[in-house]
Amino acid sequence: MESPTHSINNLFTQLGLASDDASIAHFIQTHRAASNVVLSEASFWTPAQSAFLREEILKDADWAEVIDQLNAELHA
């Protein structure tokens, strides 16, 4: 199995969010998503962030794996 192209830290940087480990952990703890909410439709994203997440998953782009990881963590 290949290593993911991007890390969760890179994803947070791409989304314009603080990307150090402590900030990411805090974001995940304070932004849990209901199980029936699609990640890109969660209320805490800006329209640009939401569009990026949706488009990258639909294209199954190299960001998709780390977006899936974030999705799992926010729905845990």
- One DSSP character per residue, 20-53 reads SHHHHHHHHHH----TTS-GGG-TTS-HHHHHHH
Q: Can you give the residue ranges of every domain in the chain?
A: 8-74
Just give the CATH number of 8-74: 1.10.10.1130
Q: How many helices (H) and strands (E) does the chain have?
A: 4, 0
Tens-digit pLDDT profile for residues 11-62: 999 999 999 999 999 999 999 988 999 999 999 999 999 999 999 999 999 9
Whether the per-residue pLDDT at 3 is higher than 60: the answer is: no
CA atoms of 22 and 54, how far apart (whole Å): 25
CA atoms of 54 and 60, how far apart (whole Å): 10
Tally Cβ neighbours within 10 Å of residue 45.
17
pLDDT attached to residue 5: 81
